[in-house]
Chains A and B, each alone.
Chain A
Amino acid sequence: MAINRRSFLKVSAAGGGGLLLGLYTQPKASAQGRGGPAPAPPDPHVYVKINRDNTVTIMAKNPEVGQGVKTMLPMLIAEELDVDWKSVKIEQTDFDDTKYATQFAGGSLATPQNWVPMRQVGAAGRALMIKAAAQTWTVPESECSTSAGKVLHKASNRSLTYGELADKAWAMPMPDLKTLKFKDPAEYTIIGKPQRQRELPAIVKGEPIFGIDVTVPGMLFAVYQKCPVFGGKVANANLDEIKQMPGVRQAFVIDRPDITEPVLPNDPGLESGIAILADTWWQAQSARKKLQVTWNEGPRANDSQSSAVFAQRAQELSTQKPHKTIRADGDAEANLGSAAKVVEAAYSYPFISHAPLEPQNCTAHVKDGKCEIWTNSQIPQGGRGLVAKALEVPERDVTLHMVRGGGGFGRRLTNDYMVEAAYIAKTAGVPVKLLWAREDDMTHDYYRPGGFQFLKAGVDGSGKVVAWRNHFVSYGSFDAQKGDVRFANAAAMGPTEFPQRFVPNYALHTSVMELGIRTGALRAPSSNAFAFVIQSFIDELAHAAGKDPVQFRLDLLAAGGPAPQAAPGPFAAPGLNAERMKGVVQLVAEKSDWGKGDLPKGRAKGVAFHFSHQGYFAEVAEVSVDAAKKVKVHKVWVAADVGSQIINPSGAENIVQGAIIDGMSELMHQEITVEKGRVVETNYNQHGMVRMAQAPPEIEVHFLKTDNPPTGLGEPSLPPILPAVANAIFTASGTRVRSLPISKSGFSWA
């Protein structure tokens, strides 16, 4: 089943956390709706191999891009299987939707989607071992117990290892999943204990484990030159000259829009371009530097497709009637008129690039109508569909091997590089490793959409927020006749975006601008920008009301009713639960000694919270700002509620600390500028990130365990840090920054 990328557009009404759930669950849901295959059941035969020496091999099914899932999912199986973690070997699976349930990395969904089924795999395996042992000893199963890869019969002091039982156990019928009993968390020996990533030895020895390291006998190295303007086409190029360059074996133009027609308004499908294949990548890349191409740049290459024009146009739109009203509760206008204090502010944030450190690459071999691919895609299923379509072969003839990715951050949720590699390999007739240069990666991304928010809110005499109006100017298309707005990919705001439900008179309007570049999901999509705007503006309101920023937030959270129930169906995701958010705000205030003690002049703490991907995060940053606008983040405190269990505390802490640093990079360094439909920034010198000396020396991470199912943390941990630092900057310096990156307002790291 091919993922239809139109599903990206089907924005869930849940807002915040619900947005991405829709994206990922849609393909499976529609497959079932069409009578397609149900998700593969949790079957130990598929995931677990018990070896003769009583070691256990556990299959890891999801793409590993640094989130630690290759260690984390097998931990769930091993715990309930009841084996010694040291006896476990982990193997990465291929992509195979007939054997494994969903195989993708995104939406912080690995934990919520696999918490039950992966433990069922382990528990079912353990049940089979007990059954086999009980039968061998002719004793009741109830008298048998397990420990570290053995079944024990204490009454007779007998034991058998899983290795000894495996043949018999694996031949028995599967137990009914409903009869399986999970361990009491108090008995856990693996889950909840810090476990090191299993690929550490390979990483520290520099073993060839990443996509870029894949080697296939006889392969050529490829570069692919595309038009700087999305959707542009090759008119002509000096290919004869290129073919004479050292090491170059082939050079050809690809222009087949007919087989991968645009599936999104801003998505050119398989982009037109020039493939150069050589004996080494450097030879291909050197030849590319001699390319002389005349492009038909197409309609996107016009002056209106420029960042400066977008900013100006957004300003104009903000003063006009909105294209659409997304939500209106009460009467915002009237209550703005009667509020004791009114604050009005315009916020903006730019396009940014994912820029994972490993540039996009893919190795492909097409032979006898079959295609073999080595990829670090975050959503291999989508890539398989795209490749099958481009190569005009059935999906079953496309084999995908999953290799480690050097970072993902959402970039590898689109498979443009995969279809390029496959099509180049097919055309060339030899195995091909396609590697994008960093410049390709930065200029042909699916960017985090920029946006503009024109806010006005009022507080009453007691400091309560009584009205909130937001005119959200984003990207997409506007059908004036129908009055309908279609947002560009990942550029939507839902009707339940905070503080909806917490402010009685709430209006959310939108207007959109046509966009010629591609946009997509970047770690904590929409939240990574919205949290900055909303939590900064809430801070402005707190100061206007003369209230402490933590207390003001707690009061605001107290103003909402209970969380709405999740709607049934594939988009199910409960909305923000105010009690859970209050819990983390209170915890972060306590841990950071909020409001206690005096800080020197120019040094202050800032606070923010955000709910996304079912995770509750509140963060405090202690920041100093000097007269030259040099900023130092001295310490960050994080309080998180992602449910009852942190599966791997070592990985969890690492990821959350990384999210803080990642968010600081977005705050200070990152902006993609568009000029006449092309992207200006090409490399890390123009789109930078935090370096070691700039990172906070200390990031304390506190998990508040609550009686809720475990959920993910890679994404929800990021959004609050941007406003937490920005709010601290305001308190420390008196300057309110309303536009990202803050370097454009003269700030830099100390």
Chain B
Amino acid sequence: MAYKLNVNGRSATVDASPDTPLLWVLRDVLNLHGTKYGCGIGQCGACTVQLGGRAVRSCQTPVSAVGNAAVLTVEGLSTDGTHPVQIAWQEIDVPQCGYCQAGQMMSAAALLARTPKPTDKDIDSAMNGNLCRCGTYLRIRQAIHKAAELATSASARTVQTAQNGSR
């Protein structure tokens, strides 16, 4: 079956059986390897992508269920690694092996989009589906707070620039 997908703002037509998980379409058909396979049963979150802005497990999302919803993967967070979570993850030196981190960042970015100033509790709840086998949770939490700060100051700057421009 042919499916027309919207991945990272681009349209892509893929040929796959309807039950093929979005994960494997991304990895093996579209060559977007940032999204990772860890368990295949929605337990680990390594395959987390955003679907219409919501964090979902792409290993549990058949390609036939994607429809027109915008698919965002780690490769689409920014063109140059400058999304606030990408900057914060680097500043805090979060990863050990790094294998789970794309999924962690996709969950974090979805959280920050709806809750710009998350509490620790908000973070624990939003990140509950993402395992880190190396145990970098303390730094992930710290990086999410940092990303929230960066995003706020960035949007403050944008507002100010716009105001300056209007004068």
Contacts and interface: CB of A to CB of B under 8 A. Distances in A.
Contacts of A212: 33, 36-37
A438 B139 CA distance: 26
A208 B46 CA distance: 14
A324 B31 CA distance: 57
A179 interface: no
B140 interface: yes
B96 A67 contact: yes
Interface string A358-386: 11000000000000000000000000000
B61 interface: no
Contacts of A57: none
A204 B81 contact: yes
B53 interface: no
B99 interface: yes
A699 B138 contact: yes
Majority secondary structure of chain B interface residues (helix, strand, loop or mixed): loop
A659 B96 contact: no
Contacts of A65: 97
B29 A684 contact: no
Given A406-B36, A662-B135, A66 B98 contact: yes
Interface string A330-361: 00000000000000000000000001111100
A357 B45 CA distance: 10
Given A205-B74, A692-B140, A406 B28 contact: no
B101 interface: yes
Contacts of A196: 90, 93
Given A213-B33, A286-B17, A357-B131, A654 B86 contact: no
Interface string B70-101: 00011101000100011001100101111111
B137 A683 contact: no
A661 interface: yes
Contacts of B44: 357, 684
Interface in A398-444: 404-409, 435, 437-438
Contacts of B73: 206
A655 interface: yes
A683 B128 CA distance: 17
Interface stretch (B119-127, B148-156, B159-167): B119-127
A743 to B, nearest CB: 16
A699 to B, nearest CB: 6
Between A205, A355, A359, the greatest number of chain B beta carbons within 10 A of the residue's beta carbon is seen for A205
Nearest to B141: A692
A200 interface: yes
Contact of B138 (A213, A404, A657): A657
A194 interface: yes
Contacts of B43: 683-685, 688
B38 A199 contact: no
A283 B15 CA distance: 12
A435 B28 CA distance: 12
Contact of A194 (B31, B86, B93, B135): B93
A691 interface: yes
B35 interface: yes
Contacts of B89: 200, 203-204
B34 A66 contact: no
Given A66-B96, A358-B36, A693-B125, A282 B131 contact: no
Contact of B97 (A213, A359, A405, A662): A405
A662 B35 CA distance: 24
Contacts of A356: 97, 99, 133
B37 to A, nearest CB: 7
Contacts of A199: 98
Contact of B99 (A406, A438, A655, A660): A406
A629 B19 CA distance: 42
B97 A208 contact: no
B24 A200 contact: no
A657 B135 contact: yes
B75 A205 contact: yes
B160 to A, nearest CB: 27
Nearest to A655: B96
A283 to B, nearest CB: 8
Contact of A683 (B41, B75, B81, B98): B41
B93 A66 contact: no
Contacts of B96: 66-68, 407, 654-655, 658
A698 B141 CA distance: 11
A404 B35 CA distance: 15
A72 to B, nearest CB: 12
B102 A357 contact: no
Contact of A221 (B28, B137, B138): B28
Contacts of B120: 697
Interface in A187-204: 194, 196-197, 199-201, 203-204
Nearest to B104: A692
A692 B123 contact: yes
Interface in B105-143: 105, 120, 123-125, 127-128, 130-141
B28 A281 contact: yes
A406 B97 CA distance: 5
B100 A357 contact: yes
A1 interface: no
A392 interface: no
Interface string A198-224: 011101111111101101000001000
B36 A650 contact: no
Given A404-B97, A658-B134, A693 B38 contact: no
A607 interface: no
A65 B135 CA distance: 14
Contacts of B132: 357, 692
Given A206-B35, A357-B46, A650-B93, A660 B131 contact: no
22 contacts: A203-B101, A204-B105, A205-B74, A206-B32, A208-B34, A210-B98, A280-B29, A281-B28, A357-B38, A357-B46, A357-B133, A404-B98, A406-B100, A407-B99, A655-B96, A657-B139, A659-B135, A684-B39, A684-B131, A693-B125, A693-B128, A695-B138
Q: Return the 7 tightest CB-CB contacts between A and B, nearest first.
A: A206-B34, A66-B97, A406-B99, A661-B135, A658-B135, A206-B74, A693-B124
Interface of B: 16-17, 19-21, 24, 27-29, 31-41, 43-44, 46, 73-75, 77, 81, 85-86, 89-90, 93, 95-102, 105, 120, 123-125, 127-128, 130-141
Interface of A: 65-68, 194, 196-197, 199-201, 203-210, 212-213, 215, 221, 246, 280-283, 286, 355-359, 404-409, 435, 437-438, 650-651, 654-655, 657-662, 683-685, 688-693, 695, 697-699
Given A200-B93, A658-B136, 4 more contacts: A204-B90, A205-B86, A356-B97, A699-B138
